[in-house]
Amino acid sequence: MSWYRNTVWFVKGLREYTRGGYESASKHFNPADVEVDVAGRSYLVTGANSGIGKATAKEIARRGGTVHLACRNKERAEVAKEEIVAETGNQNIFLHIVDISNPKEIWKFAEKFQNEHKLNVLINNAGCMVNNRELTEDGLEKNFATNTLGTYIMTTALLPLLEKEADARVITVSSGGMLVQKLNISDLQSENGPFDGTMVYAQNKRQQVVLTEQWAKAHRNIHFSVMHPGWADTPAVRSAMPDFYERMKNSLRTDTQGADTVLWLAVSAEATKLPSGLFFQDRQPVPTHLPLAWTHSPPEDEEKLMEVLEEFSQKLKSVS
């Protein structure tokens, strides 16, 4: 069955996730959806120094939004900020250095941010795919620490700030790879069996879908969404998936094409007319499971994921 799911996912990807899929879908886009002025609204984009994060930040800046770049690498982030300001003429671009794999740093950042800024839209874009099992200084498996726990802490820490604003939104950049994974709460840190970085990443992305669905139920006055950007030509893809990149490089989407649905979810009025908690691809809600796939999980597993992440979160907050 896993062979079937992987094959279906890859064939679906060849058809829909590549540049050709974007070009086909975009024929049905309404350009007016994103031709908006968002001056006065504040956006926080994690992992904003390259790829889809930077492309998203740049497009929001073009539309007059105040953009906060949350990045791990100070030098690359400063270059990205300078580029965004130069290309858009928007001076309201702010830089914050924070490692999303480090819970203590996230808590410290969020506390300071809440005291100094407002926030209308959080975009959880930062992520990693580490192909060998590595531990952070807190003893956390790095993919899990960044993609799942980091996303959880950043979001929950900033919920009080978001709840103060009208039309608050949280968008998480996931991956179609999650379609081949069923939520597994028994081995969140990939301690058992052989380590496959691609499948660990896909599991983390399934977890992000579950997080979004759970948050949408619990926080009715914030619009939550999670999305798949398609297969885009980004530095992360080149470094983490070199074989895939070489095979697919002539068909990959640009980073701006990959960021299109993030932008649409972040700025358009149309996005919030749809229910909170959905999974999007090319500006449309799409199923979170492949046909005939055994990837559905019981509600108690999804609730348990939230409980375990909250335990991790509070434990690491107390020592920060």
Residues with a known catalytic role: 201
Task: Return the structure tokens found at 168.
Answer: 């608050």
Euclidean distance between CA atoms 129 and 202, whole angstroms: 9
Helix axes 151-162, 103-116, angle to 10 degrees: 20
Euclidean distance between CA atoms 131 and 134, whole angstroms: 9
Among 220, 188, 115, 190, CA closest to 157: 115
Residues across the chain: 320
Q: Strand 168-173 to strand 284-285: parallel, antiparallel, or no bridges (unpaired)?
A: unpaired
Q: Which residues make Cβ contacts (< 8 Å) with residue 35, sequence separation at least 6?
A: none
For the chain, the maximum distance between any two Cα atoms, rounded to a whole number of angstroms, is 52
